[in-house]
Amino acid sequence: MTLLAIDPGRSFTGKGKARQSIGYSLFIESTGEEIERGALSFEELCQKLCLRQNDFALSPYLDFDCGWVISQVVIEDFVNDPKSARGGQRNGTSECIGAVEILAMQAGVPFTRQRSSILGAAKLLADYRGTAKHLPHQDSAYLHGYYYLVDKGILSSKGLAATLG
């Protein structure tokens, strides 16, 4: 089965690649092997992530890009602070989280929210070498998935392995 990790940023103002602010990473859940990583717009995510009907059991399942049956979703959580400079503005990130959560619930797929504060620890666990001040969305999604898989005991820490030798 497949783990889908999502960094749910959403731009209302960007054009082209600037709108592709939702990062994703797919993993084989049982081994932790990363299958694919990328960034999408909200509209592209809606096209790729959908409910399908199981012909045999007549039950819905969550499908990503016509082929990856999703068994677990991990998504970066977001808390809107009304006192911040963004208070009162539309918040596409929260809308994206809600849309994905509805699909996961309809398909009966476990849905886990993770705080963005785990990214520092996740960088160490995954031995992430990126130096950008703001992580690319797809790398943030990868780190959320990696952290989840280490927490579940499926993967071990690459960063700690290097210090034990």
CATH number assigned to the domain comprising residue 145: 3.30.420
In whole angstroms, give the CA distance from residue 73 to residue 112. 6
Question: What one-letter code names the amino acid at 85?
Answer: A
Q: Which domain holds residue 109?
A: 2-80+88-164
Measured CA to CA in angstroms, residue 119 lies from 77, 142, 146 at distances of 12, 10, 10
Q: Please give the backbone phi and psi of residue 142, each rounded to the nearest 5 degrees, phi first.
A: -60, -45
Q: For each of the chain's 165 residues, which pLDDT tens digit applies?
A: 899 999 987 655 555 555 668 999 999 999 999 999 999 988 889 889 988 887 666 678 899 987 899 999 999 998 766 676 655 556 778 888 999 999 999 999 999 999 999 999 999 999 998 877 788 999 999 999 999 999 999 998 886 655 555
Q: How many domains does the chain have?
A: 1
Structure tokens at 150: 């280490």
